């Protein structure tokens, strides 16, 4: 069965794609995150992803209004709740069902459960172990953690089986 996702927000625009490096932080890691306006971060700043040892953005960012409802995009079980405001408030779910997937870059494919994450929330409407249904309100959008403005960071990736 192919994975089909419900919209996590009513309006659906992307402000940062997977792998992009559009967020900058001061070289010492202090202060607010700023959006890159040219090919490079301003003098005294670096990519936030480089700062944290990442290659780039690991999801999609959807602009949202403060306290806009965030909806479960697929059925699953809540397996992660982040309550650290510095990291960002967030919810992670794992599908109970396995779905087909393929990676266009490596030609890998398989059938696995999926991990779906919703980050930078103002609050959550679920707790660990809750089962969520498609379209259920799981939280509300905000600007918590390292963020340049109110949005929802959305990730969806297969949970690879251990070989």
Domain boundaries of the chain, sorted by first residue: 1-18+58-163, 21-56
Joined tokens for residue 21 = 């490096």
pLDDT of residue 19: 64
Asked whether the predicted pLDDT for residue 120 surpasses 80, the reply is: yes
- The more confidently predicted of residues 122 and 24 is 122
Asked whether the predicted pLDDT for residue 133 surpasses 90, the reply is: yes
Mean pLDDT of the chain, nearest integer: 86
Q: Residues near 36 by Cβ (< 8 Å), separated by ≥ 6?
A: 21, 22, 23, 24, 47
d(CA 37, CA 25): 13
Asked whether the predicted pLDDT for residue 37 surpasses 80, the reply is: no
Joined tokens for residue 41 = 């971060």
What percentage of the chain exceeds 70 in pLDDT? 91
Asked whether the predicted pLDDT for residue 161 surpasses 80, the reply is: no
Pick the CATH number of 1-18+58-163 from 3.60.40.10, 3.30.365.10, 2.70.70.10, 3.20.20.70: 2.70.70.10
pLDDT of residue 122: 95
At residue 40, what are phi and psi to the nearest 5 degrees?
Answer: -125, 160
């Amino acid at each position: 069965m192919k994975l089909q996702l419900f919209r996590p927000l009513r309006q659906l625009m992307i402000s940062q794609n997977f792998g992009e490096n559009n967020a900058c932080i001061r070289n010492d890691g202090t202060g607010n995150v700023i959006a890159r306006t040219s090919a490079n971060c301003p003098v005294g700043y670096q990519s936030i992803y480089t700062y944290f040892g990442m290659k780039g953005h690991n999801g999609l960012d959807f602009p949202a209004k403060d306290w806009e409802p965030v909806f479960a995009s697929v059925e699953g079980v809540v397996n992660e709740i982040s309550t650290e405001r510095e990291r960002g408030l967030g919810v992670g779910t794992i599908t109970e069902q396995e779905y087909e997937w393929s990676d266009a870059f490596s030609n890998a494919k398989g059938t696995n459960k999926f991990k779906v994450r919703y980050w930078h929330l103002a609050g959550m409407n679920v707790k660990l172990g809750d089962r969520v249904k498609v379209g259920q309100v799981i939280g509300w959008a905000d600007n918590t953690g390292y963020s340049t403005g109110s949005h929802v960071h959305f990730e969806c990736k297969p949970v690879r089986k251990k070989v």
